[in-house]
């Protein structure tokens, strides 16, 4: 009964989303209409939340007469995995996706009270239209509420790979990021439809973009961390199509965050910024398509279903195609970027954008090339993997890092050349340290690490110099930028060092034997049987000569019989020690993999700093004034509606 109610609530939400779209686009959008739309935005998210709660309830109570529950849960699961199993499969995770979309819509209705009528109407209308499409997809092809006649007594099980803290938090954060770009997308569509793409438009769009970008950053970092400890062999990025699917909107979003700065402060790059706003969310949709259609082979994709894939492709074509047609018709055609000099801040941001989009193009080409190849040759298969991406992407990332290092110094319109001298000094110091630090710590020189460390130090030291120079003018927006760039430097050093100086050893060990790796001795002290809530495990206890204990497990899950490797990791700021159990060998010994991974934590730490920087920038005073529900002064009214003059703000 509760499940049927949930289903009904979701259908109601679909109708509300449609109504929201209708009101947003086809009414005068004043007075009562505006209030109706705001109410609908809230009611819609309430309705989906009800539907979602009903599904969670079915999971918690193990109601296996619901097909989706029977496929993805099991009575032996601990309660918290039963809750997170709600979004462990295609249907439930897409319900979460629609919930997140509705949540963003409600947030816009809440915070956007100061937006002019036509903009808010069309933003909410676009979001409503998008979510109507998502909900239709859910209800027509992927309903998680479907009942099973003569349901089983026991459910299949949640894939053991997903029975993990990482899965509880990774998808929701990732979706908040993905779908958050729908807000920027809707602002772009609304701006195009209203013919209002000015600095004020950029100022409205920026905070939403930053927050979405921050969530996506954390979501990606969590996914990488999860793969690192759950897949059992120490890698943290595989250039899998599904990873790329989350990385591409991130690259576009990063470009957008920067280009919005130029549009807000200088009124330039307008068409380009609008294009990026459309692109970032389009790439999110493309990602959803890749993960859910099965058209591209990936380890992380859901069970393939052509019918669903085709439906998403239609959504993609309608949403993106529609926005791009509007773009072609209405985007400002005047080249609005002729008001700055070479090496000005505008120029640096242009460089940033072009490089990011280039990097994005490389990832897109590499990800889709095998598909295009197969289509053209009529069934021949090929693969594009890490070697290709490393060759093509890494050099670009380094050029980007160099631009990033100099950029904070640059000033709007024109940069006094003397300022660059600072970056030069910092560069010399950074190169010196980049060579010396790894040499002193490891005794070897590796070009990749030298370049990464030098670039990281260069970025950081220029930031410090600039911080001193701008003392007294430390706005939150500025500090956010500094923090995010510093995070980039941290990630960069982490990636460079861990990829160059990691050590790995596959070895055969019996209890009592030990192995050495990079100066650390690992003693296989004990092997014990461990009983988990829904699995049994062999646990290998390893002790290093420095006294660190590592517990690596080989788990066998009762429901499906799958075997999982759970690595034993001693996490550290400077390095991770990592042990994974392989197979027992006939003579009683075990295959054991030992990894020594210096600075691997920095990869994710840097991502967290970047996200924190993005959020800090949003807290800047000027955005807070924009969102507060205050009586508009004549001044702020003019700011909120500069294009058409004073418009009634209800």
**Which residue in 28, 110, 140, 303 binds other proteins (CB under 8 A)?**
303
Q: Build a one-symbol-per-residue string for 550-589: x at contacts with other proteins by CB under 8 A, - elsewhere.
A: ----------x-xxxx--------------xxxx-x----
- Residue of the chain from 195, 306, 533, 584 that contacts other proteins (CB under 8 A): 306
Q: Is the Cβ–Cβ distance between 212 and 180 less than 8 Å?
A: yes
SS3 labels along 58-97:
HHHCCCCCEHHHHHHCCCCCCHHHHHHHHHCCHHHHHHHH
Residue in the structure block whose two tokens are 């919005």:
260
d(CA 368, CA 383): 10
Q: What whole-number distance in Å separates Cα of residue 52 and Cα of residue 46?
A: 10
The window from 197-205, 482-490, 543-551, 601-609 that contacts other proteins (CB under 8 A) reads 197-205
Mask of contacts with other proteins, 201-220, x by CB under 8 A?
Answer: --x-----------------
Candidate residues 140, 317, 421, 445; the one interacting with other proteins per rule CB under 8 A: 317
Residue 524 pairs with which residues in a beta bridge?
542
Stretch that binds other proteins, among 73-81, 165-173, 387-395, 478-486 (CB under 8 A): 387-395
CA distances from 197 to 129, 273, 645 (A): 21, 10, 15
How many angstroms separate the first and last alpha carbons of the chain?
Answer: 42
Residue 416 in contact with other proteins, rule: CB under 8 A = no
Q: What's the min distance (Å) between Cβ of 374 and other proteins?
A: 6
Dihedral over alpha carbons 94, 100, 103, 105 (to 10 degrees) = -80
Among 27, 36, 113, 336, binds other proteins (CB under 8 A): 336
Q: How many CB atoms lie within 10 A of CB 1?
A: 6
* Binding segment (CB under 8 A) for other proteins, from list 10-18, 171-179, 369-377, 484-492: 369-377
Residue listed under structure tokens 């609530």: 9
Build a one-symbol-per-residue string for 224-253: x at contacts with other proteins by CB under 8 A, - elsewhere: ------xxxx-x----xx------------
98 Cβ neighbours under 8 A, 6+ residues apart: 10, 13, 48, 131, 134, 135, 138
Q: Which span (55-63, 295-303, 455-463, 531-539) binds other proteins, by CB under 8 A?
A: 295-303
Site for other proteins in 65-94 (CB under 8 A): 67, 70-71
Question: Interface with other proteins includes 428 (CB under 8 A)?
Answer: no
Residues of span 27-56 touching other proteins by CB under 8 A:
none
Taking CB under 8 A as the rule, does residue 2 contact other proteins? no
Rounded Cα distance, 96 and 174, in Å:
11
In the complex, minimum distance from the CB of residue 36 to other proteins, in angstroms, rounded to a whole number:
31
Nearest approach in angstroms of CB 13 to other proteins is 23
Q: In this chain, which of 154, 198, 513, 526 binds other proteins, going by CB under 8 A? A: 198
Looking at residues 508 to 547 of the shown chain, list those that interact with other proteins (rule: CB under 8 A).
Answer: 508
- C-alpha–C-alpha distance, residues 46 and 239, integer Å: 37
Nearer to other proteins, 57 or 233 (CB): 233
Compute the least distance from the CB of residue 522 to other proteins, in Å.
14
DSSP class of residue 336 equals -
When the beta carbons of 38 and 566 are compared against other proteins, the nearer one is: 566
Does 607 engage in binding with other proteins (CB under 8 A)? no
Pairing of strands 549-557, 563-566: antiparallel
Residue 217 or 502: the one with the smaller Cβ distance to other proteins is 502
H, E, C per residue of 3-61: HHHHHHHHHHHHHHHHHHHHHHHHCCCCCHHHHHHHHHHHHHHHHHHHHHHHHHHHHHC
């Amino acid at each position: 009964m509760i499940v049927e109610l949930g289903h009904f609530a979701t259908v109601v939400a679909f109708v509300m989303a449609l109504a929201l779209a209708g009101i947003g686009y086809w009414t005068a959008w004043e007075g009562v209409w505006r209030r109706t739309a705001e109410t609908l935005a809230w009611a819609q998210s309430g309705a989906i939340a009800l539907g979602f709660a009903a599904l969670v309830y079915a999971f918690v109570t193990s109601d296996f007469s619901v097909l989706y529950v029977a496929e993805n849960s099991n009575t032996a699961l601990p309660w918290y995995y039963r809750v997170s199993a709600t979004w462990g499969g295609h249907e439930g995770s897409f319900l979460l996706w629609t919930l997140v979309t509705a949540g963003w819509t409600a947030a816009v209705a809440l915070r956007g009270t100061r937006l002019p009528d036509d903009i808010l109407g069309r933003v909410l209308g676009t979001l409503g239209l998008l979510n109507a499409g998502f909900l239709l997809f859910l209800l027509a092809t992927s309903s998680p509420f479907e009942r099973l006649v003569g349901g089983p007594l026991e459910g299949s099980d949640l894939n053991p790979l997903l029975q993990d803290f990482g899965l509880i938090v990774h998808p929701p954060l990732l979706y908040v990021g993905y779908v958050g770009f729908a807000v920027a997308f809707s602002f772009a569509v609304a701006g195009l439809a209203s013919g209002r793409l000015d600095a004020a438009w950029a100022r409205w769009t920026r905070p939403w973009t930053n927050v979405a970008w921050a969530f996506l950053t954390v979501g990606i970092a969590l996914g990488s961390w999860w793969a690192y400890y759950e897949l059992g062999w120490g890698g943290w990025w595989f250039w899998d199509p599904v990873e790329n699917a989350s990385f591409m909107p991130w690259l576009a979003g990063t470009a957008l965050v920067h280009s919005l700065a130029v549009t807000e402060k200088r009124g330039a790059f307008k068409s380009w910024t609008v294009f990026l706003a459309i692109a970032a969310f389009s790439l999110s949709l493309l990602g959803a398509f890749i993960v859910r259609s099965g058209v591209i082979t990936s380890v992380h994709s859901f069970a393939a279903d052509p019918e669903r894939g085709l439906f998403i492709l239609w959504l993609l074509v309608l949403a993106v195609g529609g926005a791009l047609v509007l773009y072609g018709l209405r985007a400002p055609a005047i080249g609005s970027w002729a008001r700055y000099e070479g090496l000005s801040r505008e120029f640096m941001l242009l460089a940033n954008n072009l490089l990011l989009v280039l990097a994005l193009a490389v990832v897109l080409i590499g990800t889709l090339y095998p598909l295009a190849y197969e289509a053209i040759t009529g069934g021949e298969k090929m693969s594009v993997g890490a070697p290709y991406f490393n060759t093509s992407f890494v050099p670009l990332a380094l050029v980007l890092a160099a631009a990033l290092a100099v950029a904070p110094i640059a000033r709007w319109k024109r940069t006094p050349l003397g300022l660059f001298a600072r970056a030069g000094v910092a560069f010399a110091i950074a190169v010196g340290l980049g060579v010396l630090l790894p040499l002193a710590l490891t005794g070897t020189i590796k070009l990749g690490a030298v370049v990464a460390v030098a670039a990281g130090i260069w970025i950081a030291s220029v930031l410090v110099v600039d911080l001193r120079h701008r003392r007294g003018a430390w706005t939150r927006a500025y500090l956010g930028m500094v923090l995010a760039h510093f995070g980039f430097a941290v990630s960069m050093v982490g990636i460079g060092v861990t990829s160059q100086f990691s050590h790995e050893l596959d070895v055969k060990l019996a209890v009592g034997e030990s192995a050495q790796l990079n100066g650390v001795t690992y003693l296989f002290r004990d092997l014990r049987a461990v009983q988990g809530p829904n699995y049994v495990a062999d646990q290998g206890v390893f002790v290093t000569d420095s006294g660190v204990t590592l517990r690596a497990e080989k788990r066998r899950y009762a429901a499906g019989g799958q075997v999982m490797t759970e690595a034993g990791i001693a996490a550290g700021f400077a390095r991770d020690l990592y042990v994974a159990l392989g197979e027992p060998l006939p003579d009683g010994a075990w295959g054991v993999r030992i990894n020594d991974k210096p600075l691997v934590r920095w990869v994710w730490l840097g991502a967290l700093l970047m996200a924190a920087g993005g959020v800090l920038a949003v807290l800047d005073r000027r955005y807070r004034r924009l969102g507060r529900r205050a009586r508009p002064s004549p001044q702020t009214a003019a700011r909120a509606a500069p294009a058409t003059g004073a418009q009634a703000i209800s």
